[in-house]
Amino acid sequence: MKTNKVENIIGSVDKLPTLPIIYTKLTNLLQSPNATAKMISDVISEDQSIAVRVLNLVNSAFYSLPQKIGNLKHAIVILGLNQIRNLVLVTSTIKMFREIKSDSSFNMQKFWEHSIGCAVAARVLAETAYLKSPDDVFTGGLLHDIGKLVHAIYLKEDFAAVIDDVRESGLPVIEVEKRIFGCDHTYTGRELAIKWNLSEGTVDMIRHHHLSDNSAELTKEISAVHIGNTLCIALGLGSGGEKKVPVAQMKAWEILDIEMNNLETIIERIDRLFNESVVILES
Ligand SMILES: [Fe+2]
Ligand SMILES: [Fe+2]
């Protein structure tokens, strides 16, 4: 383990901006049985740029709602607080990382397309497997590789070397990261998710999406992100730097319990939803 690089990474996680205060307030409201749509909309309205993004997204083809939603209160009633809170998390994370100047050779646009591809694929798998909250799985998929952004921004040259090495050797990114940094992006991503107080489920999806730790409990949500990552790479949706399509582990398919003859329908839905979802990047 190359301790100095690992410590650098953790140091950079500490330097990273925190999530907007409204995310914490929404999390608190989610725990309160007395929260009303008005209270929630008042909190979101404290940050007008996020309020506008959320409304744009609600009105995008991604949700295909039958009519235009004109105000936040209406959006909250239709989508529910948990989904609105996820939207705030997703839009503010993208906004925050776009504001950090990285001048890194890592292609950020392609990275976010890969993240959206994985989020969409994981969500479709979660819906097909009748999971409780496909929306939470979408968020886990969107943030699954967030550790790579920390590497790209704070360990720029080393991460560029990782990506070059992957391009030449065809090895998985996590293997080269472990060799060069002493840890991979699932570790760094977990540190960031903990710093942001994200739910345990989200932390676990980020930490275990490559199923590289055999001792960890494999949940349906982790399995959906694991397979979602493979499918979006296979379908060429964006790029997170991998040269080869990783193999989705059989145990993840077994846990999700999805019939393989559904695969064609699943892929068609992922393709369609991906095209509708890239609007998140423009919001
Ligand atoms: Fe990854
Ligand atoms: Fe990925």
Residue 130 has pLDDT above 70, yes or no: yes
Q: Which of 86, 77, 56, 120 is nearest to 272 (CA)?
A: 120
% of residues, the chain, pLDDT over 90: 51
Per-residue pLDDT, 106: 80
Question: What spacing in Å lies between the alpha carbon of 132 and ligand 1's midpoint?
Answer: 24
Q: DSSP states of 128-184 as a string?
A: HTT-S-HHHHHHHHHHTTHHHHHHHHHSHHHHHHHHHHHHHH---HHHHHHHHHSS-
Question: What spacing in Å lies between the alpha carbon of 79 and ligand 1's midpoint?
Answer: 29
Q: In b/e form, how buried is each residue of 7-36, taking b as 16+ CB within 10 angstroms?
A: ebbbebbeebeebbebbebbbebeeeeebe
For the domain made up of 102-283, give the CATH fold: Hypothetical protein af1432 (1.10.3210)
Per-residue pLDDT, 3: 59
Q: Where are the domains of the chain?
A: 18-99, 102-283
Per-residue pLDDT, 250: 94
Per-residue pLDDT, 216: 86
Question: What spacing in Å lies between the alpha carbon of 231 and ligand 2's midpoint?
Answer: 10
**Amino acid residing at 200:** E
pLDDT in tens, 101-112: 666 668 888 999
Question: What spacing in Å lies between the alpha carbon of 113 and ligand 2's midpoint?
Answer: 10
Question: What spacing in Å lies between the alpha carbon of 32 and ligand 2's midpoint?
Answer: 34
Integer Cα distance of 93 and 106 in angstroms? 18
Average pLDDT over residues 210-217: 89
pLDDT in tens, 226-248: 999 999 999 999 999 999 999 99
**Amino acid residing at 196:** W
Position with higher pLDDT, 245 vs 17 = 245
Average pLDDT over residues 116-139: 95
Per-residue pLDDT, 232: 97
Tell me which residues have their CB within 5 A of the ion that is ligand 1.
145
Per-residue pLDDT, 103: 62
Residue with tokens 């994981």: 122
Integer Cα distance of 186 and 146 in angstroms? 8
Residue 173 has pLDDT above 90, yes or no: yes
pLDDT in tens, 147-162: 999 998 888 888 999 9
Lowest-confidence region among 85-89, 129-133, 141-145: 85-89
Q: Which ligand is nearest to the CA of 210?
A: 1
Those residues whose C-beta lies under 8 Å from the C-beta of residue 198, and which sit 6 or more positions away, are 89, 143
Per-residue pLDDT, 12: 79
Question: What spacing in Å lies between the alpha carbon of 65 and ligand 1's midpoint?
Answer: 32
Q: In b/e form, how buried is each residue of 69-95, taking b as 16+ CB within 10 angstroms?
A: beebbbbbeebebebbbbbbbbbbbbe
CB atoms within 10 A of CB 279: 15
Residue 126 has pLDDT above 80, yes or no: yes
